[in-house]
Structure 1
Amino acid sequence: MDYANRGRPPRKKKPSGTAKGKARNTKRGAASKSVAARPVPWLIVILALVLVGLFTWFLVSINGKSEESEKTLPNLTKQPVTDADKLPTKPEERWQYIEELENKEVYVDVPERELGPPKLMQCGSFRSLDDAQALRARMAMVGLEAIVRASEGTTEANRGTWHRVILGPYETKRDAERDRHKLQRAQIFGCQIWNWNLGEL
Protein backbone atom coordinates (compact mmCIF):
# COMPACT_ATOMS: atom_id res chain seq x y z
CA MET A 1 0.00 0.00 0.00
CA ASP A 2 1.40 3.38 -0.95
CA TYR A 3 1.07 5.71 1.97
CA ALA A 4 3.16 8.41 0.36
CA ASN A 5 0.82 8.99 -2.57
CA ARG A 6 -2.26 8.97 -0.47
CA GLY A 7 -4.19 12.21 -0.64
CA ARG A 8 -4.30 14.63 2.24
CA PRO A 9 -7.67 15.63 3.66
CA PRO A 10 -8.93 18.93 2.31
CA ARG A 11 -8.35 22.01 4.51
CA LYS A 12 -11.24 24.03 5.86
CA LYS A 13 -11.54 27.52 4.51
CA LYS A 14 -11.02 30.30 6.98
CA PRO A 15 -13.50 33.11 6.86
CA SER A 16 -12.06 36.19 5.27
CA GLY A 17 -11.17 39.29 7.28
CA THR A 18 -13.99 41.29 5.79
CA ALA A 19 -16.52 38.72 6.97
CA LYS A 20 -15.23 38.93 10.55
CA GLY A 21 -15.37 42.71 10.48
CA LYS A 22 -18.91 42.63 9.22
CA ALA A 23 -19.96 40.27 12.01
CA ARG A 24 -18.42 42.53 14.66
CA ASN A 25 -20.04 45.63 13.20
CA THR A 26 -23.45 44.00 13.25
CA LYS A 27 -23.01 43.04 16.92
CA ARG A 28 -22.02 46.60 17.92
CA GLY A 29 -24.95 48.06 16.04
CA ALA A 30 -27.37 45.74 17.81
CA ALA A 31 -25.93 46.69 21.25
CA SER A 32 -26.23 50.44 20.59
CA LYS A 33 -29.82 50.00 19.38
CA SER A 34 -30.70 48.12 22.59
CA VAL A 35 -29.27 50.95 24.76
CA ALA A 36 -31.16 53.60 22.85
CA ALA A 37 -34.34 51.60 22.98
CA ARG A 38 -34.45 51.43 26.85
CA PRO A 39 -37.37 53.36 28.35
CA VAL A 40 -36.78 56.39 30.65
CA PRO A 41 -37.29 55.47 34.41
CA TRP A 42 -40.09 57.97 35.08
CA LEU A 43 -40.73 56.55 38.54
CA ILE A 44 -37.22 57.51 39.77
CA VAL A 45 -37.52 61.00 38.25
CA ILE A 46 -40.90 61.60 39.94
CA LEU A 47 -39.58 60.33 43.29
CA ALA A 48 -36.55 62.69 43.10
CA LEU A 49 -38.81 65.69 42.36
CA VAL A 50 -41.06 64.86 45.31
CA LEU A 51 -38.04 64.63 47.65
CA VAL A 52 -36.70 68.01 46.48
CA GLY A 53 -40.13 69.59 47.04
CA LEU A 54 -40.43 68.16 50.56
CA PHE A 55 -36.96 69.40 51.48
CA THR A 56 -37.75 72.92 50.22
CA TRP A 57 -41.02 73.01 52.17
CA PHE A 58 -39.15 71.89 55.34
CA LEU A 59 -36.62 74.72 55.03
CA VAL A 60 -39.35 77.32 54.52
CA SER A 61 -41.32 76.10 57.53
CA ILE A 62 -38.24 76.26 59.80
CA ASN A 63 -37.49 79.83 58.72
CA GLY A 64 -40.99 80.99 59.60
CA LYS A 65 -40.94 79.35 63.05
CA SER A 66 -37.68 81.06 64.03
CA GLU A 67 -39.14 84.50 63.25
CA GLU A 68 -42.31 83.72 65.25
CA SER A 69 -40.30 82.51 68.28
CA GLU A 70 -38.31 85.76 68.29
CA LYS A 71 -41.55 87.76 68.38
CA THR A 72 -43.09 85.70 71.18
CA LEU A 73 -40.04 85.84 73.50
CA PRO A 74 -40.56 88.32 76.35
CA ASN A 75 -38.23 91.27 76.44
CA LEU A 76 -36.52 90.78 79.77
CA THR A 77 -34.25 93.79 79.51
CA LYS A 78 -37.15 96.25 79.54
CA GLN A 79 -38.73 94.89 82.72
CA PRO A 80 -38.15 97.11 85.77
CA VAL A 81 -36.00 95.74 88.54
CA THR A 82 -37.81 95.54 91.87
CA ASP A 83 -36.41 95.34 95.37
CA ALA A 84 -37.30 91.64 95.55
CA ASP A 85 -35.05 90.92 92.56
CA LYS A 86 -31.99 92.60 94.09
CA LEU A 87 -29.31 90.45 95.71
CA PRO A 88 -28.90 90.73 99.46
CA THR A 89 -26.01 92.81 100.72
CA LYS A 90 -22.78 90.99 101.45
CA PRO A 91 -22.21 90.58 105.19
CA GLU A 92 -19.03 91.94 106.70
CA GLU A 93 -16.45 89.27 107.30
CA ARG A 94 -14.58 89.29 110.55
CA TRP A 95 -11.28 87.48 110.53
CA GLN A 96 -10.39 86.43 114.04
CA TYR A 97 -7.01 84.99 113.23
CA ILE A 98 -5.64 88.44 112.25
CA GLU A 99 -6.23 89.75 115.75
CA GLU A 100 -4.86 86.55 117.27
CA LEU A 101 -1.67 86.72 115.22
CA GLU A 102 -1.04 90.34 116.20
CA ASN A 103 -1.01 89.43 119.90
CA LYS A 104 0.57 85.97 119.67
CA GLU A 105 4.22 85.36 120.48
CA VAL A 106 6.13 82.89 118.33
CA TYR A 107 9.08 81.01 119.76
CA VAL A 108 11.69 79.76 117.28
CA ASP A 109 14.66 77.59 118.14
CA VAL A 110 17.71 79.34 116.66
CA PRO A 111 20.99 77.53 117.24
CA GLU A 112 23.47 79.69 119.09
CA ARG A 113 26.69 80.63 117.40
CA GLU A 114 29.46 78.19 118.05
CA LEU A 115 31.48 79.20 121.05
CA GLY A 116 34.94 78.17 122.03
CA PRO A 117 38.41 78.58 120.65
CA PRO A 118 38.96 79.42 116.99
CA LYS A 119 39.00 76.51 114.57
CA LEU A 120 42.08 75.41 112.64
CA MET A 121 42.08 73.01 109.71
CA GLN A 122 45.06 70.73 109.19
CA CYS A 123 45.40 69.31 105.69
CA GLY A 124 48.68 67.44 106.05
CA SER A 125 51.63 66.62 108.33
CA PHE A 126 54.98 65.70 106.74
CA ARG A 127 58.46 64.84 107.90
CA SER A 128 59.89 66.65 104.87
CA LEU A 129 59.52 70.42 104.59
CA ASP A 130 59.51 70.14 100.77
CA ASP A 131 56.39 67.92 100.85
CA ALA A 132 54.64 70.40 103.11
CA GLN A 133 55.56 73.31 100.84
CA ALA A 134 54.29 71.37 97.77
CA LEU A 135 50.88 70.88 99.42
CA ARG A 136 50.83 74.54 100.44
CA ALA A 137 51.47 75.51 96.79
CA ARG A 138 48.57 73.31 95.60
CA MET A 139 46.27 74.96 98.12
CA ALA A 140 47.42 78.41 96.95
CA MET A 141 46.30 77.46 93.41
CA VAL A 142 42.77 77.02 94.82
CA GLY A 143 42.97 80.48 96.41
CA LEU A 144 43.61 79.49 100.05
CA GLU A 145 46.69 80.72 101.91
CA ALA A 146 47.99 78.02 104.25
CA ILE A 147 50.83 78.16 106.76
CA VAL A 148 53.45 75.50 107.53
CA ARG A 149 54.14 74.99 111.25
CA ALA A 150 56.91 72.79 112.61
CA SER A 151 56.07 70.83 115.75
CA GLU A 152 57.66 68.04 117.76
CA GLY A 153 55.96 64.69 118.10
CA THR A 154 54.78 63.83 121.62
CA THR A 155 54.62 60.01 121.44
CA GLU A 156 57.37 57.50 120.81
CA ALA A 157 56.02 56.63 117.38
CA ASN A 158 55.78 60.31 116.36
CA ARG A 159 59.06 61.58 117.77
CA GLY A 160 60.88 64.12 115.64
CA THR A 161 59.92 67.21 113.74
CA TRP A 162 56.66 67.30 111.80
CA HIS A 163 55.67 70.00 109.32
CA ARG A 164 51.93 70.68 109.50
CA VAL A 165 50.01 72.44 106.71
CA ILE A 166 47.31 74.49 108.45
CA LEU A 167 44.48 76.82 107.39
CA GLY A 168 42.80 79.26 109.72
CA PRO A 169 41.92 80.38 112.25
CA TYR A 170 38.17 80.26 111.57
CA GLU A 171 35.55 81.82 113.81
CA THR A 172 32.98 79.08 113.11
CA LYS A 173 33.10 75.50 111.93
CA ARG A 174 30.87 76.41 108.99
CA ASP A 175 33.58 78.68 107.56
CA ALA A 176 36.12 75.87 107.83
CA GLU A 177 33.73 73.42 106.17
CA ARG A 178 33.30 75.83 103.25
CA ASP A 179 37.06 75.84 102.59
CA ARG A 180 37.28 72.07 103.03
CA HIS A 181 34.65 71.56 100.29
CA LYS A 182 36.61 73.89 98.03
CA LEU A 183 39.75 71.79 98.58
CA GLN A 184 37.87 68.54 97.94
CA ARG A 185 36.75 69.89 94.56
CA ALA A 186 40.47 70.44 93.81
CA GLN A 187 41.22 66.78 94.75
CA ILE A 188 42.85 67.69 98.09
CA PHE A 189 41.46 65.36 100.75
CA GLY A 190 42.18 64.54 104.38
CA CYS A 191 41.67 68.00 105.91
CA GLN A 192 40.51 67.87 109.52
CA ILE A 193 39.01 70.65 111.65
CA TRP A 194 40.31 71.03 115.21
CA ASN A 195 39.65 73.34 118.16
CA TRP A 196 43.25 74.41 118.25
CA ASN A 197 45.00 77.66 118.99
CA LEU A 198 48.03 78.73 117.02
CA GLY A 199 49.90 79.38 120.29
CA GLU A 200 49.52 75.75 121.27
CA LEU A 201 51.25 74.39 118.17
Structure 2
Amino acid sequence: MTNRDYANRNPARKGKAKTTRRKQAPAPKGFPLVLLLVTLTLLGGFGYFLWSINNSADDTEQTEASKVEQTDKSVKSKPKKDPNALPPAPKEEWTYQHELENKKVEIDLPEEVKPTRPYQMQCGSFRKESQANEMKAVIAFQGLEAQVRKVKGTSGYWYKVVLGPYERKRAAEKHRHTLQRGGLNGCLIWFWEGS
Protein backbone atom coordinates (compact mmCIF):
# COMPACT_ATOMS: atom_id res chain seq x y z
CA MET A 1 0.00 0.00 0.00
CA THR A 2 1.25 3.45 -0.88
CA ASN A 3 1.43 6.33 1.50
CA ARG A 4 -0.91 9.10 0.61
CA ASP A 5 -0.25 12.72 1.26
CA TYR A 6 -3.62 14.13 2.37
CA ALA A 7 -2.29 17.62 2.94
CA ASN A 8 -1.16 17.97 -0.66
CA ARG A 9 -4.19 18.56 -2.84
CA ASN A 10 -2.41 17.93 -6.12
CA PRO A 11 -0.15 14.96 -5.57
CA ALA A 12 2.37 14.09 -8.26
CA ARG A 13 1.23 11.40 -10.62
CA LYS A 14 3.23 8.29 -11.03
CA GLY A 15 5.55 8.27 -13.93
CA LYS A 16 5.65 12.06 -14.33
CA ALA A 17 8.24 14.21 -12.73
CA LYS A 18 7.04 17.11 -10.66
CA THR A 19 7.98 20.37 -12.27
CA THR A 20 7.88 23.65 -10.45
CA ARG A 21 7.71 26.92 -12.23
CA ARG A 22 9.36 29.90 -10.78
CA LYS A 23 7.68 33.25 -11.18
CA GLN A 24 10.01 35.86 -12.43
CA ALA A 25 10.07 39.17 -10.63
CA PRO A 26 9.04 42.12 -12.79
CA ALA A 27 11.80 44.25 -14.16
CA PRO A 28 12.30 47.47 -12.18
CA LYS A 29 10.72 50.44 -13.89
CA GLY A 30 12.42 53.77 -14.30
CA PHE A 31 11.17 57.03 -12.75
CA PRO A 32 8.14 58.34 -14.75
CA LEU A 33 9.61 61.56 -16.06
CA VAL A 34 6.65 62.34 -18.34
CA LEU A 35 4.20 62.05 -15.46
CA LEU A 36 6.32 64.41 -13.37
CA LEU A 37 6.40 67.02 -16.15
CA VAL A 38 2.61 66.88 -16.69
CA THR A 39 1.98 67.24 -12.94
CA LEU A 40 4.32 70.21 -12.61
CA THR A 41 2.73 71.90 -15.63
CA LEU A 42 -0.76 71.49 -14.19
CA LEU A 43 0.29 72.78 -10.77
CA GLY A 44 2.01 75.78 -12.35
CA GLY A 45 -1.09 76.59 -14.43
CA PHE A 46 -3.33 76.33 -11.37
CA GLY A 47 -1.03 78.62 -9.39
CA TYR A 48 -1.03 81.21 -12.19
CA PHE A 49 -4.84 81.07 -12.32
CA LEU A 50 -5.10 81.73 -8.58
CA TRP A 51 -2.60 84.61 -8.82
CA SER A 52 -4.52 86.19 -11.71
CA ILE A 53 -7.89 86.16 -9.92
CA ASN A 54 -6.40 87.33 -6.62
CA ASN A 55 -6.20 90.98 -7.65
CA SER A 56 -9.32 91.00 -9.85
CA ALA A 57 -11.66 91.48 -6.87
CA ASP A 58 -9.66 94.47 -5.66
CA ASP A 59 -9.65 95.96 -9.18
CA THR A 60 -13.46 95.73 -9.50
CA GLU A 61 -13.90 97.30 -6.07
CA GLN A 62 -11.55 100.12 -7.03
CA THR A 63 -13.34 100.75 -10.34
CA GLU A 64 -16.73 100.74 -8.58
CA ALA A 65 -15.36 103.05 -5.89
CA SER A 66 -14.00 105.42 -8.53
CA LYS A 67 -17.40 105.44 -10.28
CA VAL A 68 -19.10 106.22 -6.98
CA GLU A 69 -16.61 109.02 -6.31
CA GLN A 70 -17.27 110.49 -9.73
CA THR A 71 -21.04 110.46 -9.16
CA ASP A 72 -20.53 111.90 -5.66
CA LYS A 73 -18.49 114.72 -7.11
CA SER A 74 -21.15 115.46 -9.70
CA VAL A 75 -23.91 115.39 -7.08
CA LYS A 76 -22.36 116.97 -4.00
CA SER A 77 -25.62 117.47 -2.12
CA LYS A 78 -26.20 113.70 -1.54
CA PRO A 79 -24.78 112.46 1.78
CA LYS A 80 -23.40 108.92 1.93
CA LYS A 81 -25.93 106.35 3.04
CA ASP A 82 -25.28 103.52 5.38
CA PRO A 83 -25.39 100.29 3.31
CA ASN A 84 -26.84 98.37 6.26
CA ALA A 85 -29.65 100.86 6.94
CA LEU A 86 -33.22 99.71 6.41
CA PRO A 87 -35.61 101.63 4.18
CA PRO A 88 -38.30 103.68 5.92
CA ALA A 89 -41.48 101.81 6.82
CA PRO A 90 -44.33 102.39 4.37
CA LYS A 91 -47.39 104.25 5.54
CA GLU A 92 -50.43 102.05 5.95
CA GLU A 93 -53.52 103.43 4.37
CA TRP A 94 -56.35 101.09 5.23
CA THR A 95 -59.86 102.41 4.90
CA TYR A 96 -61.93 99.31 5.59
CA GLN A 97 -61.57 99.74 9.35
CA HIS A 98 -63.45 103.04 9.22
CA GLU A 99 -65.93 101.84 6.59
CA LEU A 100 -66.96 98.70 8.49
CA GLU A 101 -67.00 100.24 11.94
CA ASN A 102 -70.80 100.50 12.30
CA LYS A 103 -72.00 98.13 9.58
CA LYS A 104 -73.72 94.79 9.98
CA VAL A 105 -73.06 91.77 7.83
CA GLU A 106 -76.10 89.80 6.75
CA ILE A 107 -75.81 86.14 5.81
CA ASP A 108 -78.39 83.91 4.17
CA LEU A 109 -78.44 80.63 6.04
CA PRO A 110 -80.26 77.72 4.45
CA GLU A 111 -83.06 76.21 6.47
CA GLU A 112 -82.12 73.12 8.39
CA VAL A 113 -83.30 70.08 6.55
CA LYS A 114 -83.98 67.13 8.79
CA PRO A 115 -83.46 63.70 7.30
CA THR A 116 -86.59 61.92 6.24
CA ARG A 117 -85.38 58.64 7.71
CA PRO A 118 -83.20 58.25 10.82
CA TYR A 119 -79.85 56.44 10.82
CA GLN A 120 -78.79 53.20 12.48
CA MET A 121 -75.42 51.60 13.08
CA GLN A 122 -74.83 47.87 12.74
CA CYS A 123 -71.76 46.47 14.45
CA GLY A 124 -72.17 42.76 13.80
CA SER A 125 -74.31 39.95 12.45
CA PHE A 126 -74.04 36.47 13.97
CA ARG A 127 -75.58 33.03 13.60
CA LYS A 128 -75.61 32.43 17.36
CA GLU A 129 -77.42 34.68 19.79
CA SER A 130 -74.68 34.17 22.40
CA GLN A 131 -72.09 35.79 20.09
CA ALA A 132 -74.40 38.75 19.50
CA ASN A 133 -74.91 39.17 23.26
CA GLU A 134 -71.13 39.11 23.78
CA MET A 135 -70.71 42.00 21.33
CA LYS A 136 -73.59 43.83 23.01
CA ALA A 137 -71.70 43.52 26.33
CA VAL A 138 -68.48 44.88 24.72
CA ILE A 139 -70.46 47.87 23.44
CA ALA A 140 -72.01 48.37 26.90
CA PHE A 141 -68.50 48.64 28.36
CA GLN A 142 -67.94 51.61 26.03
CA GLY A 143 -70.98 53.36 27.58
CA LEU A 144 -73.38 52.78 24.67
CA GLU A 145 -76.58 50.81 24.46
CA ALA A 146 -77.10 48.28 21.68
CA GLN A 147 -79.93 45.94 20.74
CA VAL A 148 -79.83 42.41 19.37
CA ARG A 149 -82.39 41.84 16.61
CA LYS A 150 -83.36 38.46 15.21
CA VAL A 151 -83.77 38.71 11.44
CA LYS A 152 -84.75 35.99 8.98
CA GLY A 153 -82.48 35.94 5.94
CA THR A 154 -82.27 33.75 2.87
CA SER A 155 -79.90 31.36 4.63
CA GLY A 156 -81.65 31.23 8.01
CA TYR A 157 -81.88 33.38 11.12
CA TRP A 158 -79.26 36.04 11.94
CA TYR A 159 -78.72 38.04 15.11
CA LYS A 160 -77.75 41.63 14.33
CA VAL A 161 -76.20 43.99 16.87
CA VAL A 162 -77.46 47.51 16.12
CA LEU A 163 -77.34 50.93 17.74
CA GLY A 164 -79.80 53.69 17.08
CA PRO A 165 -81.96 55.17 15.71
CA TYR A 166 -80.03 58.44 15.30
CA GLU A 167 -81.67 61.60 14.01
CA ARG A 168 -78.41 62.84 12.53
CA LYS A 169 -75.53 60.97 10.97
CA ARG A 170 -73.11 63.04 13.03
CA ALA A 171 -74.33 61.43 16.27
CA ALA A 172 -73.91 57.97 14.75
CA GLU A 173 -70.36 58.90 13.63
CA LYS A 174 -69.54 60.08 17.15
CA HIS A 175 -70.60 56.74 18.63
CA ARG A 176 -68.72 54.83 15.92
CA HIS A 177 -65.52 56.73 16.82
CA THR A 178 -66.10 55.88 20.49
CA LEU A 179 -66.32 52.20 19.56
CA GLN A 180 -63.21 52.42 17.37
CA ARG A 181 -61.21 53.88 20.27
CA GLY A 182 -62.39 50.86 22.30
CA GLY A 183 -61.05 48.49 19.64
CA LEU A 184 -64.35 47.65 17.94
CA ASN A 185 -64.01 48.33 14.22
CA GLY A 186 -66.31 47.51 11.36
CA CYS A 187 -69.51 49.24 12.43
CA LEU A 188 -71.54 50.48 9.46
CA ILE A 189 -74.01 53.38 9.35
CA TRP A 190 -77.07 53.45 7.08
CA PHE A 191 -80.67 54.54 7.02
CA TRP A 192 -82.97 53.02 9.61
CA GLU A 193 -85.11 50.14 8.51
CA GLY A 194 -87.97 50.16 10.99
CA SER A 195 -88.98 46.80 12.38
TM-score, normalised with respect to structure 1:
0.45
Q: Which has the larger radius of gyration?
A: 1
Bigger helix fraction:
1
- TM-score, normalization by structure 2: 0.46
